[in-house]
């Protein structure tokens, strides 16, 4: 696999003090702490003045009072990658890693993400989304006839497969909906795509973006859930993916278009399904603050492209930016 050249970014100023934001209050706190400690160790190994900062235990005003002038966002889920933290950092004038306020908010909302991708002609599974006011018995009864079985039920504002259920039989639907609605009042049901699950990271902004190698995921019994993602070694990851060169290139191009359509910057990771019957790729979601744990896929893909974990962390903090330059 050929090495990937990263988009050019300026070097860190000599007086840079980095806050590695980790932990937080979302359901992905445990994963965030693992990501954050990995990033913190990597930045310090490169001579960066970096420190852990947990918004669940410290106030945002401390970022300024303690002299931080750059932030690495290793928060996941709500109040981490949904635009709220990004907005706080914009107000503080502290450049941060990853996408800006609007793109972060859009990508965190799977319903809005799908609408934008569909409007741009990008392939994503057929779906039904129902707000609380729309969850009438009549509308809920349409889910299986319109999407077929199996299907996927998920909360549209969670990550790490939290609250996601594969419904294979009609009698399983009520429990799946109850689980999802318990986490998010809006319900999202998607047609199930039979085939390979893959993921592809992106680095850069605007026209200066690069797709990293595709990772193909083989989970036991297809259960790529929260437990298998982070706490077992049962899942097999293939990078190189083993897909044909043409199909991998098609996936990378689709991912670049999906990233640019949402206006993302810095980095991201798109998750997709490749339908077995015709090898067509379908976009599932865009992660704008991907995991950086020992099981995470962006570092794995980067490594296959000749980019070490430490080099990736350094590039990301160097690429940190604001939506608008400080006045």
- How crowded is residue 314: how many other Cβ atoms within 10 Å of its Cβ? 22
160 is catalytic: yes
Residue tagged active-site, from 269, 289, 296, 301: 269
Cα–Cα nearest to 237, from 265, 211, 267, 216? 216
Residue tagged active-site, from 24, 80, 285, 289: 285
Q: How many angstroms separate the CA atoms of 81 and 287, rounded?
A: 8
Residue tagged active-site, from 35, 99, 258, 287: 287
194 is catalytic: no
Distances in Å between the Cα of 30 and the Cα atoms of 27, 33, 282 are 8, 5, 29
99 is catalytic: no
Cα dihedral sign for 35, 41, 44, 49? positive
Residue tagged active-site, from 82, 158, 184, 271: 271
Q: How many angstroms separate the CA atoms of 298 and 213, rounded?
A: 9
Residue tagged active-site, from 32, 104, 291, 309: 291
15 is catalytic: no
CA-angle at 159, arms to 192 and 117, nearest 5°: 60
285 is catalytic: yes
Using DSSP's 3-state secondary structure scheme, residue 118 falls into helix
Q: How many angstroms separate the CA atoms of 304 and 24, rounded?
A: 31
Q: How many angstroms separate the CA atoms of 317 and 58, rounded?
A: 21
115 is catalytic: no
- How crowded is residue 209: how many other Cβ atoms within 10 Å of its Cβ? 18
Residue tagged active-site, from 127, 160, 228, 289: 160
Which residues are known to be catalytic? 28, 160, 230, 269, 271, 285, 287, 291
């Amino acid at each position: 696999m050929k090495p990937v050249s990263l988009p050019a970014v300026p070097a860190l100023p000599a007086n840079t003090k980095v806050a590695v934001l980790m932990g937080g209050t979302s359901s992905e706190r445990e994963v965030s702490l693992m990501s954050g400690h990995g990033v913190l160790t990597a930045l310090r190994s490169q001579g960066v003045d970096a420190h852990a900062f947990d918004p669940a235990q410290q106030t945002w005003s401390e970022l300024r009072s303690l002299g931080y002038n750059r932030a690495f966002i290793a928060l996941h889920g709500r109040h981490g990658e949904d635009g709220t933290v990004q907005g706080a950092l914009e107000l503080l004038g502290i450049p941060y890693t990853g996408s800006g306020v609007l793109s972060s908010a859009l990508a965190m909302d799977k319903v809005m993400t799908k609408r934008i991708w569909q409007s741009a002609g990008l392939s994503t599974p057929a779906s039904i989304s129902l707000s609380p006011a729309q969850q009438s018995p009549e509308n809920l009864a349409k889910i299986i006839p319109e999407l077929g079985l199996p299907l996927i039920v998920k909360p549209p504002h969670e990550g790490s497969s939290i609250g996601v259920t594969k419904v294979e039989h009609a009698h399983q639907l009520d429990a799946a909906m109850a689980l999802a609605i318990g986490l998010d009042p809006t319900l999202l049901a998607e047609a199930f795509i039979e085939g390979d699950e893959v993921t592809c990271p992106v680095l850069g902004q605007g026209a200066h973006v690069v797709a990293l190698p595709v990772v193909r995921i083989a989970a036991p019994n297809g259960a790529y859930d929260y437990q298998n993602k982070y706490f077992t070694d049962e899942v097999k990851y293939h990078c190189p993916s083993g897909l044909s060169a043409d199909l991998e290139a098609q996936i990378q191009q689709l991912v670049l278009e999906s990233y640019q359509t949402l206006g993302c910057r810095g980095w991201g990771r798109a998750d997709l399904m490749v339908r077995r019957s015709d090898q067509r790729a379908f976009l599932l979601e865009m992660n704008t603050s991907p995991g950086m744990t020992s099981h995470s896929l962006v570092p794995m893909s980067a490594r296959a492209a000749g980019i070490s974990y430490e080099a990736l962390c350094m590039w990301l903090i160097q690429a940190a930016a604001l939506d608008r330059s400080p006045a």
